[in-house]
Amino acid sequence: MTPLLMSWRCVPCCRSGLSWCVTRMITQTVLRGVHKKNKKKLINHSPAASWEERLSDVCTPLWRMEYKEQLKYKLEALQKVLRDLCLTVKERGGQLPDYNGLFCLLQEVLPSPVIYGYRNKSTFSVNLGPNGDPKTVGNYVGNERDRSIVCVRTDHLLNIPVKHKLVAKCYEDYIRQSPLPPCLHFRDEGHWHEIIVRTNSNGDVMAIFTFYTKHLPQDKVLSHILSLKEYFTHGPGSVCNLTSLYCQQKNPATNQISPPLLLHGSPHLTERVLGLDLRVSPTTFLQINTPGAELLYTALGNLVKNRSKSILFDVCCGTGVIGLSLAGQFQEVVGIELVDDAVCDAQWNMTFNGVENCQFLVGRAEKLLPKLLSERNNTEHVVAVVNPPRAGLHPHVVRALRNCENVRTLIFVTCKPEGEAGRNLTEPPCCSSTQKL
Q: Which residues are catalytic?
A: 415
| Residue 337 marked ligand-binding | yes
Taking CB atoms within 8 Å and a gap of at least 24, the contacts of 396-399 are 396/366, 396/370, 396/437, 397/315, 397/365, 397/366, 397/369, 398/424, 398/427, 398/429, 398/437, 399/430, 399/431, 399/437
| Residue 387 marked ligand-binding | yes
H/E stretch holding 37 reads helix 36-42
Phi-psi region of 267 (alpha: psi -120 to 50; beta: other; left: phi over 0): alpha
Q: Rounded to whole angstroms, how far apart are CA atoms 36 and 32?
A: 12
Q: Rounded to whole angstroms, how far apart are CA atoms 102 and 123?
A: 37
Half-sphere exposure of 349 (CA within 13 A, CB side): 35
Q: Which residues pair with 262 in a beta bridge?
A: 246
Contact between residue 159 and residue 60 where contact means Cβ atoms under 8 Å apart: yes
DSSP 89-110: HHHTT-B---STTSSSEEPPPB
3-class SS at 130? coil
Residue 61 burial (10 A CB sphere; 0-12, 13-18, 19+): buried
Where helices occur in 243-364 by DSSP H, the ranges are: 290-303, 321-326, 340-352
**What is the dihedral angle through the alpha carbons of 112, 52, 123, 170, rounded to the nearest 10 degrees?**
-120
Phi, psi of 388 (to 5 degrees): -80, 165
| Residue 287 marked ligand-binding | yes
Q: For residue 63, how many other CB atoms are within 10 A of its CB?
A: 17
Contact between residue 2 and residue 73 where contact means Cβ atoms under 8 Å apart: no
Q: How would you write 357-416 as a 3-class SS string?
A: CEEEEECCHHHHHHHHHHHCCCCCCEEEEECCCCCCCCHHHHHHHHHCCCEEEEEECECC
Q: Rounded to whole angstroms, how far apart are CA atoms 44 and 258?
A: 41
**What is the dihedral angle through the alpha carbons of 80, 83, 84, 89, rounded to the nearest 10 degrees?**
160
Q: Which residues are annotated as a binding site for S-adenosyl-L-methionine?
A: 287, 337, 387
Q: Which residues are annotated as a binding site?
A: 287, 337, 387
